[in-house]
Amino acid sequence: MKKLSFLAALFVMCTGAFAQIEAPVKWSYASKKINSTEAVVFLKATIQKGWHIYSLNVKDGGPIKTSFTFTPSKEYSVIGKTSEPAPITRYEKVFSMNVSYFENTVVFQQKIRLKSPNASAVKGKLEYMTCNDMKCLPPEEVDFSIPLGK
């Protein structure tokens, strides 16, 4: 009987551990060709209620800012910096500073120069950090591949 009770308790603890994996942000992607030599890629974060991700522009000493690294290619090049809408800026005790962040949804945009008519996708990696009023999750890196529309 003791073995059965131990196994049941172990099962409940293991199930609880798996239930605690949190993924409060989902990423989606799109692109739009402006003309035969330029396109814009859109990187959208959908954020669960109560959570937020940080702006592209966070000062040193604060949280990990959202960043995008585009894979170098012979088919395309990045034009300028990634843009973002106006963020929310508030004081966060945990960082002892004002920080800029986004809630609910945010769409980042990056202009691309097409070097080849055969350019089919823009690839890269994004990094971001998610927090709520109680805790921050470790920074995450996500690989992306954004198909270019014809």
The SS3 of residue 8 is: helix
Q: Average pLDDT for residues 128-150, to the nearest whole number?
A: 92
**Token pair for 85:** 């809408």
Q: Is the pLDDT of residue 4 over 50?
A: no
Each residue's pLDDT tens digit, 52-99:
999 999 999 999 999 999 999 999 999 999 999 999 999 988 889 999
Distance between CA atoms of residues 21 and 113, nearest Å: 39
What CATH number does the domain containing 60 carry? 2.60.40.1250
Predicted structure pTM score: 0.84
Other beta carbons within 10 angstroms of residue 17's beta carbon come to 9
Please provide the DSSP assignment of 49-101 as one string. TT-EEE-S---TTSSPPPEEEEPP-SSEEEEEEEE--PPEEEEEGGGTEEEEE
Distance between CA atoms of residues 71 and 124, nearest Å: 5
Q: Report whether 94 contacts 134 (CB < 8 A).
A: no
Q: For residue 52, is it within any domain? A: yes
Q: For residue 8, is it within any domain? A: no
Q: For residue 38, is it within any domain? A: yes
Q: For residue 48, is it within any domain? A: yes
Q: For residue 81, is it within any domain? A: yes
The SS3 of residue 134 is: coil
Q: Is the pLDDT of residue 2 over 60?
A: no
Each residue's pLDDT tens digit, 115-133:
998 889 999 999 999 999 8
Range of the domain at 138: 25-147
**Token pair for 54:** 């940080």
Q: For residue 29, is it within any domain? A: yes
Each residue's pLDDT tens digit, 11-56:
434 434 444 578 999 999 999 999 999 999 999 999 999 999 999 9
